[in-house]
Structure 1
Amino acid sequence: MILSMTGFGRSRKEGAGYTVSVEIRALNAKQLDISVRMPKNFFEFEDLCRKLIANRMRRGRIDTSVQIDSTDITQKAPHISPELARYYWSQLQEIQRQIVPSQQPLLDHLLRIPHIYQTTEAVIDPEAIRGIISSAMSEALDQVLRMRAVEGESLLRDLMERISALRDDLGVVTGRRGAVIEEYKTRLQERMKQLLGGAELDENRLMQEIAFLVDRSDINEEIVRLGSHIEQLLSILSGEKPADGRRLDFLIQELHREASTIGSKTTDLDTVQAVVRMKAEIGKLKEQVQNIE
């Protein structure tokens, strides 16, 4: 089972006189990188959002936007201050008395004075808002995880196809190993005889030297390690728990190293062609693994 690192979720919840809107975007990243944007009056709830994300995400850039609006009209609308209204009304009357002739001041004149209006500081119920934010965050995170799982299934199918092709080419390399060793032995014997001319030589000593050179060029260890890495990949991908993208990335780096070593040890055409195909598939595997959580 694998999860992609990309996803999107959105939720809107109402309660306790507030509306909470949450939007989460998840992108690729090497580590878990959380960004939370919310109104400055509610910064105390930022840590709550970060903990909720960290409990459900392991890797990725998580951009979160939290919007909190009051649904209580008494908190949103400005209030007329009676004290200020009386003060400015007396000022209007005083001006009317001093300026003759002039009309009596009207209520419309008073309401045009912006200074009589005041906004009341919102009364926040921390526990109620905490519950609404938690509910909205959980719903948005559920959507992100569902999208990650769907994309993860597509990634898994692609990875399994490429691993299957990799195993087929590893089979080609394994099948050629015995023939390659024998051909290498024969070439070494012929080459040494040419270099020595007609001189007599110790046959046992010659065979020891040939065995030493053949052993240095043997690819059996690399084949075994490649097979082991492939089996580990399959075990991780088919497990019930979500695969760890960093572990997969490490195994794929090891696959590339072993394939490169095989390519440097042999000149057999079939083996070299198989190695080229393997390295191409490993490169594509590496690209896909960068998207896994």
Structure 2
Amino acid sequence: MVYSMTGFGRGKKANDCLTITVEMKSVNHRFCEVTVRMPRQLLMFEDKIKKVVLQYVKRGRVEVFVNVEGEGLTKKKLQVDWQLLSDYYQSLQEANERFSLQDRVTLSQLFSLEGVTEIVEEEAGNEEIEQLLIDATHEAALQLKSMREAEGRALINDIREQLSFITECAFKIQMFAPEVSEQYRERMVKRVGEFLQGMIDETRILTEVAIFSEKTDINEELKRIHSHVEQFTAAMGSGAPIGRKLDFLVQELNREINTIGSKANDSRIALQVVEMKSALEKIKEQVQNIE
């Protein structure tokens, strides 16, 4: 199966206290890179999230976004500075005695004094939260993989069409090629005959045609084009990540097509070279998006 490198996935899990939503999107990348954005209380699970994603993705840049709704991530706790509270109380009692006052000191007064109480948040550290997070990540990654698979099928179908077109062009060139030398010989005979008024050195003509044929011979290039197309087709059915291999084959095909273009001394062959290069450019764009 061939996978695209672009896709999107979403997973959502919840318990009585909170809901965890994991979203991830992937784009083209030369290697495999995973980045995670999440609440700081969950940072301890970052490596586990990345390991889950890497079970489904072998190449591409994946961005993971974790959102938490609810109060289950932290627990609120009241802290009392008993020493400070005691100091406040002693000071108020001393003030009553020193100034002959009869004011009662109440608990509400004491607890409203600055610095006596503080509400702090503690991380819950709940194993259930971790399991919800991992399950949501699996669900999102599975959706991502499914979307990448569907896009991969579309890419492969288009690539197969372009490869078939390149093969057809190569066969046409193969049919035109033998005629090029013959046409060159006829032009040579005509020009030399006109110049020498019919006195033609047939041996010299054959030598020139042989040299021309050697310079313009494209049989090896055509064979390599057919070989690269076969390798391309075989790779697409291998089931392994093939993006880099296909990118290499595109470069090799481009090299052979350019060589044929530089050797071509025929308008029909030149036209087929242009058509092949156009199809190969489309393949190149598609290959850039294959895992």
Normalised by the length of structure 2, the TM-score is: 0.81
Following superposition of structure 1 onto structure 2, how do residues 98-117 of structure 1 map, counting pairs within 5 Å?
Answer: 104=104, 108-110=108-110, 112-113=112-113, 115=115, 116-117=117-118
Q: Is the 8 A contact 2:169 2:272 kept in 1?
A: yes
Share of identical aligned residues, percent?
33
In 2, Cα distance between the equivalents of 1:100 and 1:265? 115
Q: Is the 8 A contact 1:13 1:19 kept in 2?
A: yes
Q: Is the 8 A contact 1:85 1:110 kept in 2?
A: no
Q: Is the 8 A contact 1:96 1:104 kept in 2?
A: no
Cα pair distance change 1:121/1:161, threshold 3 Å: same
Show the counterpart of 1:147: 147
CA offset at residue 150 of structure 1? 1.5
Aligned Cα RMSD in Å? 3.5
Show the counterpart of 1:166: 166
In 1, Cα distance between the equivalents of 2:11 and 2:197? 85
1:262 to 237, 253, 260: 260
CA offset at residue 105 of structure 1? 5.2
In 1, Cα distance between the equivalents of 2:222 and 2:49? 48
In 1, Cα distance between the equivalents of 2:106 and 2:182? 113
Matched, 1:221 2:215: no
Show the counterpart of 1:180: 180
Cα pair distance change 1:27/1:109, threshold 3 Å: farther
CA offset at residue 35 of structure 1? 1.5
Q: How many residues align?
A: 289
Cα pair distance change 1:266/1:107, threshold 3 Å: same
In 1, Cα distance between the equivalents of 2:86 and 2:69? 33
Normalised by the length of structure 1, the TM-score is: 0.81
SS of corresponding position for 2:123:
coil
SS of corresponding position for 1:260:
helix
Following superposition of structure 1 onto structure 2, how do residues 189-208 of structure 1 map, counting pairs within 5 Å?
Answer: 203=203, 207-208=206-207
Cα pair distance change 1:17/1:89, threshold 3 Å: farther
CA offset at residue 59 of structure 1? 1.2
CA offset at residue 8 of structure 1? 1.5
CA offset at residue 109 of structure 1? 4.1
In 1, Cα distance between the equivalents of 2:171 and 2:56? 40
Matched, 1:37 2:37: yes
Report the AA paired with residue 243 of structure 2.
G
Q: Is the 8 A contact 2:192 2:200 kept in 1?
A: no
SS of corresponding position for 2:277:
helix
In 2, Cα distance between the equivalents of 1:114 and 1:240? 71
Q: Is the 8 A contact 2:188 2:205 kept in 1?
A: no
SS of corresponding position for 1:13:
strand
Please give the per-residue CA displacement for 1:142-168, whole angstroms capped at 9, x wherever unaligned: 011011112112222222222222222
Report the AA paired with residue 222 of structure 1.
E
In 1, Cα distance between the equivalents of 2:26 and 2:265? 46
Report the AA paired with residue 210 of structure 1.
V
In 2, Cα distance between the equivalents of 1:201 and 1:231? 46
Which is worse superposed, 19-28 or 40-49?
40-49
Cα pair distance change 1:101/1:54, threshold 3 Å: same
In 1, Cα distance between the equivalents of 2:8 and 2:94? 62
SS of corresponding position for 1:76:
strand
Cα pair distance change 1:287/1:88, threshold 3 Å: farther
* Residue ranges of structure 2 left out of the alignment (5+ in a row): none
Show the counterpart of 2:134: 134
Which is worse superposed, 277-286 or 85-94?
85-94
Which is worse superposed, 222-231 or 183-192?
183-192
Q: Is the 8 A contact 1:34 1:61 kept in 2?
A: yes
* Residue ranges of structure 1 left out of the alignment (5+ in a row): none
Which is worse superposed, 98-107 or 273-282?
98-107
